[in-house]
Amino acid sequence: MKPHSSLDSATWYLKYFALPLTVGAITMYKILDCFSNRKRRVALQGKVVVITGASSGIGEALAHALYEQGSKVVLAARREGELNRVKQDLIAKKLDLPVEEPVVLPLDLADLDQVENFVQKVYEICGHIDILINNGGITHRGAIVHTKLEVDQQIMCVNYFGTVALTKAILPKMVERQSGHIAFVSSVQGLIAIPGRSAYAAAKHAMQAFADSLRAEMHQHNINVTVISPGYVKTAISLNALTGTGDKHGVMDPSTAAGLSPEYCAVKIMDSIVNKEKEIIISQFMPKLAVFVRRSMPSFYFWYMARRATKSPIY
């Protein structure tokens, strides 16, 4: 059938091309989404998942995403009241599958002496750990010259040493079981560094290196390691950032306010674990471009960052 006028052409186009294509695309999306959900449930239902930094932001969103797939989630963070709020929000969900009650266990990653006792409690309650998601951490806003060494130490202790201590504490039993998955929620700034974020970027770079070594060593024990590098995410991370003096930044950065949603990131992180990916970047275009430029055109990257630091000095 051939159209005879512009109106007939439009009608013909809608009827025989646009509409079938749209319906086909929607149908395919639903099929793929159904397949993805099925794959997630098979991989995650009944698994014991420990999430640090679970009281807000990406950690809280991960708790919801994993609980909805039937995982037994262990919620860890400093603020026990907020953890209990998250737990009640999870329990209130009406799910179509059996799922065990979430576990709340306070943990301050800055206090390394807490870690062994925390892991022992998890094993006493849950018996084992299938997945550890190292998500807890703090960030930094301040020029190097105006940042006290104590701030560098605090951020390194929480973001790196606390994470390393927790990972090492759970490893022996994972190795014994020859099974497990360890995920590190790093940052794009674990791959590049920008002015005003020296302490944070250094800790995330260290985490990246530790995870790469861990991945190689754990391959023989059937333990998977995934590093997730988010870009800007709309959380309270910039509000809680430490300044050079150690005070709270208390400002929502425009880039953070316009960031990706924690829920979107949580699904991407969950899928990276299900698919046993080694590393992923979850970000807008510009941070991904920055990573590419840093790797392929370092001289240009160094020039641009120096220019950025000069035009917008950080104090």
The SS3 assignment for 293 reads helix
* 190, two tokens: 């674990």
Q: How confident is the model at residue 239 (pLDDT cuts 50, 70, 90)?
A: confident
Residue 280 near residue 287 (C-beta atoms within 8 A): no
Distance between CA atoms of residues 112 and 18, nearest Å: 60
Examine the pLDDT at 268 and tell me if it is beyond 70: yes
Residue 107 near residue 77 (C-beta atoms within 8 A): yes
More confident residue, 167 or 42: 167
When the pLDDT of each residue in the chain is averaged and rounded to a whole number, the result is: 89
Examine the pLDDT at 36 and tell me if it is beyond 80: no
Q: What is the DSSP string of 142-202?
A: S-GGGS-HHHHHHHHIIIIIIHHHHHHHHHHHHHHHT-EEEEEE--GGGTS--TT-HHHHH
* Per-residue model confidence (pLDDT) at position 17: 60
Q: How confident is the model at residue 23 (pLDDT cuts 50, 70, 90)?
A: low
* Per-residue model confidence (pLDDT) at position 4: 54
Distance between CA atoms of residues 61 and 262, nearest Å: 6
| Residue 112: how many other CB atoms lie within 10 Å | 15
* 153, two tokens: 């130490």
Distance between CA atoms of residues 293 and 289, nearest Å: 6
Examine the pLDDT at 16 and tell me if it is beyond 80: no
171-180 confidence digits (pLDDT tens): 999 999 999 9
Q: How confident is the model at residue 19 (pLDDT cuts 50, 70, 90)?
A: low
Examine the pLDDT at 310 and tell me if it is beyond 70: yes
Name the residue with tokens 């052409």.
Answer: 9
* Per-residue model confidence (pLDDT) at position 247: 77
49-64 confidence digits (pLDDT tens): 999 999 999 999 999 9
Examine the pLDDT at 260 and tell me if it is beyond 80: yes
* Per-residue model confidence (pLDDT) at position 32: 55
Residue 216 near residue 225 (C-beta atoms within 8 A): no
Instruction: Provide, rounded to the nearest whole percent, the portion of the chain with pLDDT above 90.
Output: 73
Distance between CA atoms of residues 298 and 109, nearest Å: 34
* Per-residue model confidence (pLDDT) at position 293: 96
Residue 273 near residue 181 (C-beta atoms within 8 A): yes
Q: Which helix (H) or strand (E) holds 262?
A: helix 262-274
What separation in angstroms does the CA of 310 have from each of 22, 69, 119, 307?
50, 48, 46, 5
Q: Which helix (H) or strand (E) holds 226?
A: strand 223-230
More confident residue, 202 or 250: 202
80-130 confidence digits (pLDDT tens): 999 999 999 999 998 888 899 999 999 999 999 999 999 999 999 999 999
Q: How confident is the model at residue 29 (pLDDT cuts 50, 70, 90)?
A: very low
Distance between CA atoms of residues 45 and 98, nearest Å: 9
Q: How confident is the model at residue 136 (pLDDT cuts 50, 70, 90)?
A: very high
Could you tell me which of 243, 244, 233 has the C-alpha nearest to residue 284?
Answer: 233
* Per-residue model confidence (pLDDT) at position 21: 61
* 15, two tokens: 């009827």
| Residues noted as catalytic | 200
